[in-house]
Amino acid sequence: MVRHYTLCHAITNTYTTYLDIDKEDAERLGIKPVRYRDEDNYIYSVECPQVIAEQVKEKYGTLRFYYRLEYSADTKYLLETKKYPHLTNLNTAFHYYVDGAIHYAEVVTERKNEQKTDSYYN
């Protein structure tokens, strides 16, 4: 079980980026303005969603990892407003990143199993 948690933790804590949001949303989220070039800017720190393992299985010696992404309440709110397409794009990219990392792990376990099988029969 510790390994599953470690995988989720490692995938989740990969990067943080920032997003300019409007004053109304910033006030709702309690974000203070940052003064730049005589303008108030409202910067939201976009953190990666938490990767939650739904199921981790081994089938025919190969890893199968099923997950869901859990977003913070603030990120959910901003996504629901549909005012920030860049945020949607970031979350889509993160989803692809997680899918790629999981696919890589599945392929590696498949190859390791093939090596064990080959050495058993040779």
In the three-class reduction of DSSP (H, G, I as helix; E, B as strand; rest coil), residue 121 is classed as helix
Q: How confident is the model at residue 119 (pLDDT cuts 50, 70, 90)?
A: low
**What is the amino acid identity at position 78?**
L
> Which residues are 21's β-sheet partners?
42
Joined tokens for residue 57: 């299985």
Q: Which residues are CB-contacts of 100 (< 8 A; sequence separation ≥ 6)?
A: none
Element (H, E) at 52: strand 50-59
User: What is the per-residue pLDDT across 1-30, written as a single tens digit (0 to 9) for each?
Assistant: 444 445 555 555 556 678 899 999 999 999
Single pTM value for the model? 0.67
State the burial class of residue 94 (Cβ atoms within 10 Å of its Cβ: 0-12, 13-18, 19+). Answer: buried
User: What is the per-residue pLDDT across 42-73, written as a single tens digit (0 to 9) for each?
Assistant: 999 888 888 888 988 877 777 788 889 899 99
User: What is the per-residue pLDDT across 26-37, written as a single tens digit (0 to 9) for each?
Assistant: 999 999 988 887
